Structures are given as C-alpha cells and as structure tokens.
Amino acid sequence: MSGKVIIFPVESNTAHVKVTPALNKIFFSVTVCLRFLSDYNKEQAPGDGRYRLYIGDKGVFFYGLPTGLNQWHSVCVTWDSGTGLAQIWVNGRPSARKALQAGASIAGTPSIMLGQDQDAYAGGFHVYDAFYGHATDVHMCDTVLSPSEIKDYMKCVISRPGNVVDWTNMEYSKHGYVIVEPKLTLTCPDSEVA
C-alpha cells in the first residue's frame, strides 16, 4: 500500500476495508496512526475540534484539536491499560491525556475495519457512523509510541512502522464502494511540530 490512498467516495453502511493484523495477541497498549482528508461535516466526524476514542464499549471525547475540511490531518491515538491513559495527537498537537479503561485489554483476534465504526465485532455498521473521504499511512503498534516517534510520524517520517498494521505491507480486502489508488497530493499537513 506504500504510495497509495484509500478513498471512501460515498456515505455507506457497507463500504469498508478489512485489515488483517500481523499479530494476534492480547493488547495492553496500542498506538494507531493514520492520515485522513474529508469534506464531510457531520456531528460525529471531526470538523468541530472533537474526536472520540473507544476501547471496548467505553469512550471518551477529546476537544479543541485541529480540524478543517479538505485538509490532510495526521492523527495518532495512544492507550495504555496500565495507567488507563489515552491521548490523541492531531497535526503534531497533543490532547490532554484522559482516563479510559484502566486495567482492560483488547483480546481475541482484532477486527480492524477502515471506513466504518463497528457497533459489533466485525460489523454493526450504520451510515451515520461511516467515514467519507480519503485515508492513508495507517500504522498500529502494540505499544505506546514516544512523543518523538509520534512527532516523526506527523512530519511524514515513519521511524517505527506498525508491528500490528504496517501500511507498506498491509494485508486487506475491500468491501463495497472503495477505491485504492496512487497518492496524487501531499498528505502531510502543516503540523505544529517543533
């Protein structure tokens, strides 16, 4: 997938990309990074500085982070079971860290879907939860990346590719109206990384 972008061109409750993880284990910490662009502004989509993260059936909102329609955004999400702390970085700007599922784990075979919010394992899709736009450079690690590693990602330097999902070697299957094509534009936003 190196040099490629996934496009979800319509609102849909079926369009998604199922990713096959490289590791099948119990996760006690994770970092997920990706870049996205969208021109769709709805209550549950970034557009008002609000992002939401779920671990299991519990979620938390993060506010005041960079947004903007028709702009590429680099996002990294971290979660550590030991402390229960979660954080979102957008375009180099970190959120406050918030408590989420301390002591929990992500167990079983991971069901990783791009383009949809799963309300049930490997499904439960609703059109109002769908992602509508472009996504690229998806990486998932089974550790919390350091701030310097996250800052590298924000600058389009992949210093530590994901060991669970690595965009350059990602196994995936497309479902519904999904297009995979070469990147035609610069995907790294002007970040606030110093």
| Token representation of residue 116 | 């949809």
46/52 Cα distance (integer angstroms)? 9
Give the mean pLDDT of 81-107.
95
What's phi and psi for 174, nearest 5 deg? -95, 145
CB 135 within 8 A of CB 5: yes
CB count within 10 Å of CB 142 equals 18
* pTM value surpassing 0.85: yes
What's the pLDDT at 128?
A: 60
- Number of C-beta neighbours around residue 36 at 10 A: 23
CB 19 within 8 A of CB 96: no
Whole-angstrom Cα distance, residue 132 to residue 139? 20
Domains observed in the chain: 4-182 (2.60.120.200)
> If pLDDT is split at 50, 70 and 90, which confidence band does 190 have?
low
Q: What is the mean pLDDT of the segment spanning 22-33? A: 91
Percentage of the chain with pLDDT > 90? 50
Which residue did the predictor score with more confidence, 115 or 78?
Answer: 78
Question: Is residue 95 within 8 Å of residue 62, measured between CB atoms?
Answer: yes
Are 9 and 134 spatial neighbours (Cβ–Cβ below 8 Å)? no
**CA atoms lying within 13 Å on the CB side of residue 180:** 17
**Which range has the worst mean pLDDT, 85-94, 110-119, 126-135, 158-167?**
110-119
Residues 123-150: pLDDT tens digits?
Answer: 455 566 678 899 999 999 999 999 999 9
192 contact partners, CB below 8 Å, separation of at least 6: 66, 91, 92, 93
Say yes or no to pLDDT of 61 above 50. yes
Give the separation between CA 144 and CA 148, rounded to whole angstroms: 11
